[in-house]
Structure formats: structure tokens, C-alpha cells
């Protein structure tokens, strides 16, 4: 059987060099958006609408939606809560549609519109995402969301964890240098991921804003089996075959 | 003494997120441009003019300049030779000005115009570049040229080798995730750099075109003490204090 192709994109700034037509794109933003989205669905959220602009989020609030919105770590005054996964509790989100403010995320979803499917990947759902990919038999791009177009260590560690599982399955090959880099970084990190990402810039940013309480949780494997998927600009739980 | 700041940029596509104003930028393109430029100066070249377009290179040829120009591994018919370091022999280049065709390189030099100095770094001049940086007392960006805006393993290995020396000097600190990644990749590669980059895409591309004879040479440390520096759009040997 011909092997499937695996690539890693280390920043949205480089994605124009990738062809995602017909490919599974796994968006990875470990701290914290993708982890928050996984948590919301595990706690029963119906759907998530990614929203680029603050004013757009405000309009959703006026229409009665739940709104998760932060800027620079501060929950916006009109929002229901900020972007920490811990805010997406069952009593708040079950059955609800949530407008989630994320400029970077919205841009990434626009970039990946031609994909076969764009899904949300994290440590929190790593096994179910991997299993689903292995059944789908499509080429894969692991898309690290990064931070303001810069390289992010924790997203690359997670991409390496996915790469490791996909390559070890024997079904994927790669000629992508970023896959090799992510695998080597994963190999450095795997025995102590929490300790490894102490040096990550996002870890420092979250500490300085008092938002780092969720890091252990975000590095937890298989908290949920749900795979969030993008459908017509919204994110919903994937219905697996 | 306040420590100096070290950053690594993994692709030209991400450089808009870096502020190079007043900073030393070290451009790294191990296979093969930066290695070829180091070789040219070691063999007595007077200056190198980076040229973006083929037509511009042709004009330089008509004016009597030496021209190094390839497209997809083939030496252009009007050029004197291609871009392998082995072409820049003393009998050809001594005392001459060379027009060097490089679309990516020309773009990178435009991006770094506001730097304190933009220099060419490679394994071939790693010690002299490091020593010079340590004397200059400026912040540093190691700028990996990559390939068509994509991440390049061999350039990141070289950036890691530079990062390792600069951080170990005790004079530099970093809060840049790409520095940490380059250091970890360097740590994986350092005992056998030649073996490590066997998996690099550029290594495969060069093999397929029969252009891989220069790889061992490009990974040689300290073939030269010359530091090529950009001055008014041309590259010349730096006159050290």
C-alpha cells in the first residue's frame, strides 16, 4: 500500500507553502485554545463559533450566545468568561453555543478551508485523533498555531507527539524537515513534558498573567475522546464512522 | 552587566515578527549559499553582488562580471558557473567581483536592512563569527534562510551550533522558543552532523541533482576566518577591529 504523507507546519506564516487540498489538517494550540475547545465539548457544548474581532464577539453576546473572550489575558467586560479551559464547565456550557474570541484561530481556519477536514488536536484528545486519522487514510498536516506568527515550543512538542504515533504506525512517511524537528523535540520532551516546556515563552507569559493554573491539565493525555471538527466556519464534535 | 538577547528566526516567512533594528543578523544557509560565499572570500574574491533575477544576472555578465547562477540545480547557459562552493576556486575568483544569483538571499538582505550589521554565517566560519559577536556586544538574530519559506533542518542545526556557543559564553540570554528548539536539535546532531542531516529534504534534493558532493565540505568547521558582511547591498569581507 502506498504510504500517506505527513507534514508539520510550524507557524501560520509558513502555511502558504503547504497544499492542504484534500488533506486532514490538525490545528494544534496547546496553551490554551485547542485545550479549551476540547474541554468545552467534553462538558457538553453544542458548538463553538470562532470570532476574530472583539466587536463581533460583543454582537454575539447581545444575541444571547455564551461568549469567551480575552485580550492580553484579561476577560473582556461583556464576556461570560475568558479562554482558560477551566472556564468551560458543564454547568456553563452544556447544550450551549459558544462564541470564542480568537484572532489567530479564525485566521487559521480561513487558511485551511480547502482541507478534507480541519480538526482540533491537543494532548487532551491525542489518542482519539490519532486513531481517527489512521482510519481515514488521508495525508496529514499538523498545523502549529504558534504565537503571533512565531514558533511555539509547546505546539511543536505536541506535533511531535502526534508525528511519533503516526510514523510509528507504519502508514505514514515524511520528507518534511519540520516533522523530523518535531520528532526530535518530542524525544527530548517526552519523559517530562511539564518540565520541558518550563522554558517556553508562552509558559512565562501565562505565569506573568496568573493564567498558568491550567498547564498541567493542558498536558494531560486523553481527557476526552471527542474530536472537534470545523464545519462551515463553526466547530462541532466530529461524528465518527 | 546586562545580558544580550539572542533570537533565532526559522524562516524568512516569520521575520516580520522580529525587530532587527540595531541588531547583528547572522544569515545562515548551509547548503549551499552561505558556504559558497565563505569559500569565495577565502579564495580571494573582492566582493559579491547578490542578484534576484536571472535577467539581472545576465546584465552583469554582459558588463564583464563573473556570474554564479543556477536554477533548479542547472547552471544557466550564460553564467560562468553554478552555486556550489567548489566552483569558487582561487584561479577563478581571486580579486574579482562576482554576481551571485539568489532570489531568496536577495530578499533576506532587503528584510535585514535595518540591522546593525548583517553577516553571513556557516560552519565554515563559525568560530570567527562567534568571536566577533562576543566582542561587539549587540543583540543577535540567527536568521535561517530555509527553502521556499519552509523550515530547514540543516540551517537550524547550524543556528543551534551558534546558539550553543553564544549561550555558553554567559553573555547572552534568550526568551525565544526557536533558540531552545535549535539548541535541542543541535544536541541531537552534534556528535554526527553529517549523519543527522541525512534526513533533511535539501540533502535529498542535492543528491537527486548530483549536487551533493559538497556536503561534507559545507559541514566543516573553521575553513576560513573571514566574516562576509553586507554593505550597501554588496557582500564584502568584514574588516575586524
Question: Which fold is adopted by the domain B4-233?
Answer: putative 2-phosphosulfolactate phosphatase (3.90.1560)
pLDDT digits (tens, 9 = 90+) for A120-166: 999 999 999 999 999 999 999 999 999 999 999 999 999 999 999 99
Q: Work out the average pLDDT over A30-36.
A: 95
Provide DSSP, B9-36. Answer: E--GGGGGGS--TT-EEEEE-TTTHHHH
pLDDT at A240 over 80: no
A190 touches chain B (CB under 8 A): no
Phi, then psi, of B28 in degrees rounded to 5: -125, 115
Write out the three cell numbers for B159.
543556528
**In which residue are the cell numbers 524568512 written?**
B12
Mean pLDDT of chain B: 96
B91: number of Cβ within 10 Å: 7
Selection from B28, B8, B19 nearest residue B147 by Cα: B28
Q: Closest partner residue to B199 among A150, A180, A185, by Cβ?
A: A180
- Lateral strand order in the sheet of A66-68: A66-68, A97-101, A47-51, A234-237, A228-231, A117-121, A24-28, A140-144, A4-9, A172-173
Which chain A residues are Cβ-neighbours of B153 within 8 angstroms?
177, 180-181
Model confidence at B241: pLDDT above 70:
no
**Gap from B241 CA to chain A (nearest CA, Å):** 35
Chain A contact set for B179 (CB, 8 A) = none
pLDDT tens digits, A68-116: 998 877 899 999 999 999 999 999 999 999 999 988 899 999 999 999 9
Q: What is the pTM of this model?
A: 0.96
In chain B, residues with a C-beta closer than 8 Å to the C-beta of A148 are 17
Amino acid at each position: 500500500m502506498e504510504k500517506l504523507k505527513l507534514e508539520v507546519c510550524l507557524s501560520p506564516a509558513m502555511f502558504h507553502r503547504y497544499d492542504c487540498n484534500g488533506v486532514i489538517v490538525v490545528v494544534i494550540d496547546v496553551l490554551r485554545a485547542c485545550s479549551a475547545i476540547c474541554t468545552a465539548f467534553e462538558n457538553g457544548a453544542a458548538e463553538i463559533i470562532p470570532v476574530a474581532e472583539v466587536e463581533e464577539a460583543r454582537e454575539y453576546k447581545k444575541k444571547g450566545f455564551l461568549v469567551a473572550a480575552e485580550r492580553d489575558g484579561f476577560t473582556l467586560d461583556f464576556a461570560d468568561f475568558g479562554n482558560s479551559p477551566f472556564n468551560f464547565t458543564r454547568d456553563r456550557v452544556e447544550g450551549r453555543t459558544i462564541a470564542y474570541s480568537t484572532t489567530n484561530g479564525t485566521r487559521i481556519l480561513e487558511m485551511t478551508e480547502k482541507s478534507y477536514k480541519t480538526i482540533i488536536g491537543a494532548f487532551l484528545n491525542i489518542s482519539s485523533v490519532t486513531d481517527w486519522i489512521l482510519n481515514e487514510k488521508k495525508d496529514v498536516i499538523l498545523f502549529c498555531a504558534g504565537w503571533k506568527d512565531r514558533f511555539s515550543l509547546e505546539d511543536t512538542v505536541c506535533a511531535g507527539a502526534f508525528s511519533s504515533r503516526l510514523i510509528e504506525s507504519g502508514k505514514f512517511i515524511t520528507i518534511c524537515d519540520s516533522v523530523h524537528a518535531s520528532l526530535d523535540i518530542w524525544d527530548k520532551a517526552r519523559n517530562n513534558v511539564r518540565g520541558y516546556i518550563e522554558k517556553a515563552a508562552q509558559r512565562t507569559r501565562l505565569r506573568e498573567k496568573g493564567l498558568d493554573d491550567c498547564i498541567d491539565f493542558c498536558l494531560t493525555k486523553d481527557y476526552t475522546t471527542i474530536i472537534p471538527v470545523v464545519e462551515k466556519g463553526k466547530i462541532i464534535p466530529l461524528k465518527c464512522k
